Structure 1
Amino acid sequence: MIDRPQPYVGSARLPVPAGLGRGFVLASVFVCAACGLVYELELVAVASSLVGDSVTQASVVLSVMVFAMGVGSLLAKRLRCHAAAGFGYVEALLALVGGGSAMALYASFAWLGGARVVLVLTSFTIGALIGAEMPLLMTLIQRIRAQDPGGAVADLFAADYVGALVGGLTFPFLLLPLAGELTSGLLTGVVNALAGGLVVQWLFRHDLRGRARYRLLAANGCVLSLLLVGTAFVGPFEEAARRAVYGDDVRVAVHTAQQELVLTGGATRAEWPAAGELRLFQDGRLALRGRQARAVHRGLVRPAMEGGPRDRVLIVGGGDGLAVREVLRFRGVREVTVVERDPGVVRLARRDPGLRALNRGALDDPRVGVVNADPFDWLRERVRSDAARFDVMISALPAPEGSAGPKLYSQEFYGLAARALADEGRLAVRAGAPGGRARDFWTVDATLRAAGLRPCPYGAGRRFLLARPAKPAPPTCLGERRTRVPPSTLMHPRYAE
């Protein structure tokens, strides 16, 4: 591979002492690294909410960006002779692409029908620009004061890694809760453009001659203007994209700390013919449909409630109140505990007239207690404290395909559920449909068995599993063959939806 001649490394004319100049460069490395990681996490978060399967989206973003960083490092070799101008243009373009990446994904998903291609292209572009930063910064810091290359690299990477730590913690705990995904990206782009522009336009301004300085200044000004204007139009953009995805009957849209909740259609049955059937979407996934909601939850709850004692009932998920409504229809229920991770779902189910009409205000019943916590952690702490056991457990979670909480379908979770059940307790689980995604259904079945429970499939249309604590199997004679009972024979028509 033929490399270009080494750039001239001379002492740069700085407006401050050399030591302070190096400090400014390292500070810019810190800020740019923080912004780069925010872009990365933002891409993963937006892609997971739009497409689902967070593991796949994170793998795609990380692998493409790391590969692109290597490509960007090679391409940056051609810019070393003009390191200051090159770094300025790289940061301006990175701020524009990274800051607008979330809006680009939303626009592609809403109006083009998919976001995978845009996700890969955006990840590659951001990765290439991030990879181009380090060679240029290495050249700039050596121009301030020549030093051992190993020491210079150590300083740069130290600032880079610390900045990545700060960016990684700032995004989920500060930016996302306070500003949301789209505004967070745009504001991060503004910070990125200011950090890069300040280093070049002030610290290395003598390296820019004549028109080059004004062209770079104009580029930074255009980028900052576009990002700031974008923050002013985030609201109308989200509304237009939401209507393109869900239709014109969007009635409520709420961003919680965990997800986006969207209600479409009329609030009452009388409004459904004209305004559309009531539907609840959680991060773009249909979670509830008005005409089917009661039948689905009745099919899930009734077999477990009719199978024995039902004094104490635990509902995992179920913040919409529909499973609670079905549970309260049975006599003898003294206590119902609802463990819902997202308090926004419970708040919406209590206040929205459409959801409240479906659940009939079940969440306000004095026998019902709502706990806003992660169900896995809450159940583990309860088992450790040896608290009273439950007669019935209802897992009112979405079917395992595309589920946002895979650990709630794990052997560990079902093992905790088995320990929290009374001797005659029952656990009802929504497991999907054998005719649709058979692998998901039978994976849940096998996981329940591995956790010491005896599952039995039931339901028509949708498929559920009713599990009880396993009892020791009677000994079999030598040579006796065990035959597998076909699942269809276990589905009682009484529990058909």
Structure 2
Amino acid sequence: MVLLPVRPEAARYLILAVVFVCAACGLVYELELVALASYLIGDSVTQASVVLSLMVFAMGLGSLLAKRLRCRAVVGFAVLEAVLALVGGGSGMMLYAAFAWSGGAHLVLVSFSLAIGVLIGAEIPLLMSLMQRVSRRDAEGTVADLFAADYVGALVGGLAFPFLLLPWLGELTGALLTGAVNAVAGGVLVLWLFRRDMTPRTRRRLVLLNAAVLALLAAAAALVGDFEAAARRAVYGDQVRVAVRTGVQEVVLTGRASQPPDLFIDGQLTVRGSDEHRYHEALVHPAMNGPHARVLILGGGDGLAAREALGYPDTVSVTVVDLDAGLVRLARRDPALSALNGRAYDDPRTEHVTADAFSWLRGARRGTYDVIVSDLPCPGTAGGKLYSMEFYGLARRVLAPGGRVVVHAGPARAHPGTYWTVAATVRAAGLAVTPYRSDGDHGFLLAGVGHPPALALDPAVPRLRSPLAERLPGYGPAAEHGRPEGAWPQPSTLVRPRYAR
């Protein structure tokens, strides 16, 4: 037993409180790395698997390495928490910097996942040693108390990240604040509760170490805005017009003031303003060859697909279902983007619904829409459920008799396996499919109930900016070049997603 400033029972509760805080901070570091890696690299399932599996493995290594520190558990724990606060708190900025200035973040992601895992894994053995110094309870009871506090702390950290830190502070500032909390918790425990267990010289060194860590974290937090601006310029160039975090994704508009803007979503070029009409005309107009009074657009919050549908005077309504109200707000209010979409959201025929497309379709009325346009991110980027057989089954349910569905299915030539898997999935939902590939390797699927729809344009098609009418007859054969031999691929379902690239 050591000489303590409080009763042993109070010291025991203080250690359990620090266990709680450390567990919460550790889980925030993990979630922050997963979220940022998913945003920067894509494929959230893979990034979560990599980060979590590496961290769990490294935690085992950390537990083994902590045995060497048990003879100096007090000082070892203080140094460990200071290093963990700095590494975990700064991991987001380092990952973002690697992506912005080198173009790759995989090595940094792996390195920080391992480093944070080793440091977290060493915490419990050292805290166990500290607990045994202040409490005479049996080892089994002590272990149970430590793990109970650890698990509850992980729960709080896991809930705090998406509901508090991420929406209020953002990923970078949230991680830095978590690091500061981590450093303070470790420093208070050692420098106050176990101060008599150290020499004055050791105490001074630990005070200086924690002060330096907190100063670095505070300086980084103060510079987050400038850092993000510099990183954004490194990624997008010097012509960034607008950059906003909408709560769903990062939306950036770039380009000269005299030119149509380019639209980036989560770091990926989504719309090239100079030639986006080639994509949107090829997406929308073949589906409008027939009844098109009521049009449903799933995704397409930028308003560009809506612009094409509204070009038909006999279109009665266009409903845009997009999860990101911030993108729609930008498409409505930004002068450059609203000019590009023809001020589609100012048209009284346009209605916007902020909702997840899958959930919204479940509640939509049967047989409502003549045309359904699925203008969603490429398979593998969007959630798998938005390219599942169940999703297309719901779309078929709300399709009016004689209606058509058109699906953006990703690059047909660059990723033929993914493209034809989408085709097989649409087909498995009971829709007959007409594949076609436009200029720029944009792969589409035109579908309807019964027979495959003809790949043609409505006689009253509005004036087009691209040579779509001349080239459309060749778009069908262009898609067929990549068709896999033999049987169709297996369809993708909610429980068996098949969009691995």
Alignment match of 1:166 (pick from 156, 163, 178): 156
Alignment match of 2:279 (pick from 282, 290, 296): 296
**Partner in structure 2 of residue 426 of structure 1:** 404
Deviation at 1:388, TM superposition (A): 5.2
**Partner in structure 2 of residue 33 of structure 1:** 23
Residue pair 1:266, 1:354 contacting (<8 A) in 2 also: no
| TM-score between the two structures when normalised by the length of structure 1 | 0.89
Structure 2 Cα separation of the partners of residues 39 and 220 of structure 1: 19
Alignment match of 1:463 (pick from 423, 427, 443): 443
Alignment partner of 2:238: what SS? coil
Q: Does 1:390 find its partner at 2:369?
A: yes
**Partner in structure 1 of residue 356 of structure 2:** 374
Q: How many residue pairs end up in the alignment?
A: 457
**Partner in structure 2 of residue 346 of structure 1:** 328
Q: Compared with structure 1, are the counterparts of its residues 440 and 494 closer, same or farther at alpha carbon in structure 2 (3 Å cutoff)? A: closer
Structure 1 Cα separation of the partners of residues 366 and 393 of structure 2: 16
Q: Does 1:320 find its partner at 2:323?
A: no
Alignment match of 1:245 (pick from 235, 250, 272): 235
Q: Structure 1 residues 233-242 or 139-148, which shifts more?
A: 139-148
Q: Compared with structure 1, are the counterparts of its residues 491 and 444 closer, same or farther at alpha carbon in structure 2 (3 Å cutoff)? A: farther
Residue pair 2:54, 2:114 contacting (<8 A) in 1 also: yes
Alignment match of 1:286 (pick from 255, 263, 269): 269
**Partner in structure 1 of residue 113 of structure 2:** 123
**Partner in structure 2 of residue 140 of structure 1:** 130
**Partner in structure 2 of residue 6 of structure 1:** none
Structure 2 Cα separation of the partners of residues 180 and 282 of structure 1: 17
Structure 1 Cα separation of the partners of residues 389 and 371 of structure 2: 19
**Partner in structure 2 of residue 305 of structure 1:** 288
Structure 2 Cα separation of the partners of residues 113 and 403 of structure 1: 18
Residue pair 2:88, 2:116 contacting (<8 A) in 1 also: yes
Which whole-Å deviations, capped at 9, do the CAs of 1:134-172 have from their partners, x for residues lacking one?
A: 000011111111222111111111110111011011111
Q: Does 1:83 find its partner at 2:78?
A: no
Alignment partner of 1:492: what SS? helix
Alignment partner of 2:414: what SS? coil
Which whole-Å deviations, capped at 9, do the CAs of 1:81-131 have from their partners, x for residues lacking one?
A: 111111111100000000000000011111122110010000100000000
* Runs of 4 or more consecutive aligned structure 1 residues displaced over 4 Å after TM superposition: none
Alignment partner of 2:112: what SS? helix
Residue pair 2:376, 2:382 contacting (<8 A) in 1 also: no
Letter in 2 for 1:417: A
Q: Structure 1 residues 127-136 or 110-119, which shifts more?
A: 110-119
Q: Does 1:362 find its partner at 2:340?
A: no
**Partner in structure 2 of residue 56 of structure 1:** 46
Q: Does 1:330 find its partner at 2:308?
A: no
Structure 1 Cα separation of the partners of residues 158 and 400 of structure 2: 43
Structure 2 Cα separation of the partners of residues 185 and 132 of structure 1: 20
Alignment partner of 2:434: what SS? strand
**Partner in structure 2 of residue 14 of structure 1:** 4
Letter in 2 for 1:60: V
Residue pair 1:459, 1:491 contacting (<8 A) in 2 also: no
Letter in 2 for 1:73: S
Deviation at 1:176, TM superposition (A): 0.5
Structure 2 Cα separation of the partners of residues 152 and 418 of structure 1: 59
Which whole-Å deviations, capped at 9, do the CAs of 1:363-418 have from their partners, x for residues lacking one?
A: 12111110111111111122xxx455211100111222x42322111111111111
Deviation at 1:434, TM superposition (A): 2.5
Structure 2 residue ranges without an equivalent (≥5): 453-470, 479-501
Alignment partner of 2:412: what SS? coil
**Partner in structure 1 of residue 414 of structure 2:** 436
Structure 2 Cα separation of the partners of residues 125 and 212 of structure 1: 25
Alignment partner of 1:432: what SS? strand
Structure 2 Cα separation of the partners of residues 256 and 96 of structure 1: 28
Which whole-Å deviations, capped at 9, do the CAs of 1:285-313 have from their partners, x for residues lacking one?
A: 1110112212211110001111x211211
Residue pair 2:358, 2:391 contacting (<8 A) in 1 also: yes
Alignment partner of 1:430: what SS? strand
Which whole-Å deviations, capped at 9, do the CAs of 1:26-51 have from their partners, x for residues lacking one?
A: 11111110000000000011111111
Q: Does 1:149 find its partner at 2:139?
A: yes
